[in-house]
């Protein structure tokens, strides 16, 4: 066999190689991220004829907040979709712009950021920390929960509140007079049940599917902050793929993210309907004046962000994606 034929045969073998993608995440299947992951798995199985397999590990079964990024870097998993709040501690503090309280009024405003030049730049920055950024997914807006309604600034005073590992979220809680406690998502329910923390902030879909209702009697619909995800892969794995496989996976992922983004608002709406039927949980709302007072009180979180990350990113978000 001539050299050209051998090369052709080798490349054909590579194109036919079986591929396993381990996709680990920390939420339940029945959430926007869980559904997106399962849809991605189905699309990949269909489009590759079963040659490329996606194994989805939900609910921190394989890795949790503390070790999933390290697992990706070491090649123990091929894909993750950490919340945007979790990229600051791995060296990309720009992602914490999404955590700034009351910055986004609705998902349309968030999507202006994630689908435009700012989003593309942020995904590109992930390469600095040995990750390939493949896209964004919404969960939705976070609501406060505790043993009592949290509607006024003084309601926050002295509460120990679980936050993700984001300096913006910690600054937000401190500005409101609360004590932020960073805990992995998978340990939050136990900490709330044991009284180690008094409350938390979650979109309703995460609140319900983590079984937080029995341990948090009051949910206040503050919608004070956004929770979304970046889909990431290991660059060595991504580069090792055959070009046709990479193109197919990119398209399947884009389709799964589109579907997840279409579902996310409905899933949170549906979760709220379910929550309102739970006799053990009271759902509270904010008056415009209460909302304004909270918005004013969290200003130190903006000052802290600007000191650490600079003003240009926030200004660009405010200018290009005004409500
Ligand atoms: C997630 O939705 O992936 C978890 C968010 C959190 O840690 O609160």
pLDDT reading at 8 higher than 80 = no
- Work out the percent of the chain whose per-residue pLDDT is above 90: 94
In this prediction, residue 131 carries a pLDDT of 97
What does the pLDDT average to over 86-108? 97
In this prediction, residue 235 carries a pLDDT of 97
pLDDT reading at 123 higher than 80 = yes
What secondary structure letter does DSSP report for 180?
E
CA of 231 to the centre of ligand 1 (A): 13
Ligand 1 atom closest to Cα of 86? 7
Tell me the CATH number at 271.
Answer: 3.40.190.170
Per DSSP, helices labelled H in 61-178 are: 68-74, 107-114, 117-125, 153-156, 167-175
Residue 26 near ligand 1, beta carbon < 6 Å = yes
Lowest mean pLDDT among 2-6, 13-17, 57-61, 199-203: 2-6
What does the pLDDT average to over 220-226? 98
Residue 83 near ligand 1, beta carbon < 6 Å = yes
Q: Are strands 179-182 and 132-146 parallel, antiparallel or unpaired?
A: unpaired
What is the residue-averaged pLDDT of the chain?
A: 95
CA of 3 to the centre of ligand 1 (A): 52
In this prediction, residue 12 carries a pLDDT of 52
- Work out the percent of the chain whose per-residue pLDDT is above 70: 95
What does the pLDDT average to over 274-300? 98
In this prediction, residue 11 carries a pLDDT of 52
Task: Give the contacts of 111 (CB within 8 A, at least 6 positions apart).
Answer: 138, 261
Residue 27 near ligand 1, beta carbon < 6 Å = yes
pLDDT reading at 105 higher than 50 = yes
What does the pLDDT average to over 135-154? 98
pLDDT reading at 300 higher than 90 = yes
pLDDT reading at 84 higher than 70 = yes
What is the rounded CA–CA span in Å between residue 249 and residue 274?
Answer: 35
Name the residue of 25, 27, 162 to mutate for ligand 1: max ligand atoms within 8 A of Cβ. 27
One DSSP character per residue, 1-68 reads: --HHHHHHHHHHHHHT--EEEEEE-SS-SSSHHHHHHHHHHHHHHHHHTTSEEEEEE-TTSS--TTTH
CA of 163 to the centre of ligand 1 (A): 9
Q: Which residues of 92-108 are buried (b: 16+ CB within 10 A; e: fewer)?
A: bbbbbbbbbbbbbeebe
What is the rounded CA–CA span in Å between residue 110 and residue 120?
Answer: 13
CA of 26 to the centre of ligand 1 (A): 7
Residue 139 near ligand 1, beta carbon < 6 Å = yes
* 154, HSE (Cβ side, Cα atoms, 13 Å): 0
Name the residue of 25, 83, 190 to mutate for ligand 1: max ligand atoms within 8 A of Cβ. 83
Residue 128 burial (CB < 10 Å; 0-12/13-18/19+)?
A: exposed
Ligand 1 atom closest to Cα of 162? 8
Residue 268 near ligand 1, beta carbon < 6 Å = no
What does the pLDDT average to over 249-278? 97
Q: Which of the four pLDDT bands, split at 50, 70 and 90, describes residue 9?
A: very low
Nearest CA owner, ligand 1 atom 7: 185
Name the residue of 84, 166, 202, 204 to mutate for ligand 1: max ligand atoms within 8 A of Cβ. 202
Residues 225-240: pLDDT tens digits?
999 999 999 999 999 9
Residue 24 near ligand 1, beta carbon < 6 Å = no
In this prediction, residue 285 carries a pLDDT of 98
The overall longest dimension of the chain from CA atoms, in Å, is 80
Task: Give the contacts of 233 (CB within 8 A, at least 6 positions apart).
Answer: 72, 78, 79, 131, 132, 134
- Domain with 277, as residue range(s), is 2-320
The per-type count for the chain, helices as H runs and strands as E runs, is: 14, 9
Nearest CA owner, ligand 1 atom 4: 185
What does the pLDDT average to over 307-318? 96
Paired strand residues for 161: 180, 199
For tokens 């290009």, name the residue: 320
The total domain count for the chain is 1
Residues 37-53: pLDDT tens digits?
999 999 999 999 999 99
Angle between helices 312-320 and 117-125 (to 10 degrees): 150
Would you call 98 helix, strand, or coil by DSSP? helix
For 168, 176, 202, 214, 296, the CA distances from 299, given in Å and listed in that order, are: 11, 10, 21, 33, 6
pLDDT reading at 202 higher than 90 = yes
In this prediction, residue 5 carries a pLDDT of 46
Residues 147-200: pLDDT tens digits?
999 999 999 999 999 999 999 999 999 999 999 999 999 999 999 999 999 999
């Amino acid at each position: 066999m001539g050299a050209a034929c051998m090369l052709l045969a080798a490349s054909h073998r590579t194109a036919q190689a079986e591929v396993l993608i381990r996709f680990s995440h920390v939420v339940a299947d029945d959430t926007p991220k869980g559904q997106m992951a399962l849809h991605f798995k189905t699309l990949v199985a269909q489009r590759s004829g079963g040659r490329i397999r996606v194994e989805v590990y939900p609910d921190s079964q394989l890795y949790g907040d503390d070790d999933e990024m390290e697992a990706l870097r070491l090649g123990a998993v091929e894909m993750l979709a950490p919340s945007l709040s979790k990229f600051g501690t791995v060296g990309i503090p720009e992602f914490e712009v999404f955590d700034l309280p009351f910055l986004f009024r609705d998902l349309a405003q968030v999507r202006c950021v994630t689908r435009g030049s700012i989003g593309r730049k942020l995904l590109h920055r992930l390469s600095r920390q040995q990750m390939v950024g493949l896209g964004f997914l919404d969960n939705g807006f976070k609501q406060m929960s505790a043993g009592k309604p949290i509607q006024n600034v003084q309601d926050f005073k002295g509460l120990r509140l679980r936050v993700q590992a984001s300096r913006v979220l910690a600054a937000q809680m401190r500005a409101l007079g609360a004590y932020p406690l960073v805990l992995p998502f998978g340990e939050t329910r136990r900490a709330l049940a044991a009284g180690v923390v008094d409350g938390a902030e979650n979109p309703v879909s995460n609140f319900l599917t983590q079984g937080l209702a029995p341990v948090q009697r009051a949910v206040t619909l503050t919608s004070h902050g956004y929770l979304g995800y970046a889909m990431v892969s290991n660059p060595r794995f991504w580069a090792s793929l055959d070009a046709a496989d990479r193109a197919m996976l990119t398209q399947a992922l884009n389709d799964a993210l589109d579907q997840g983004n279409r579902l996310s608002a409905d899933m949170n709406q549906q979760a709220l309907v379910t929550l309102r039927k739970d006799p053990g949980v009271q759902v509270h709302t904010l008056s415009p004046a209460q909302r304004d007072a909270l918005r004013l009180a969290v200003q130190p979180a903006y000052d802290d962000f600007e000191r650490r990350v600079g003003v240009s990113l926030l200004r660009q978000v405010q200018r290009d994606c005004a409500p």
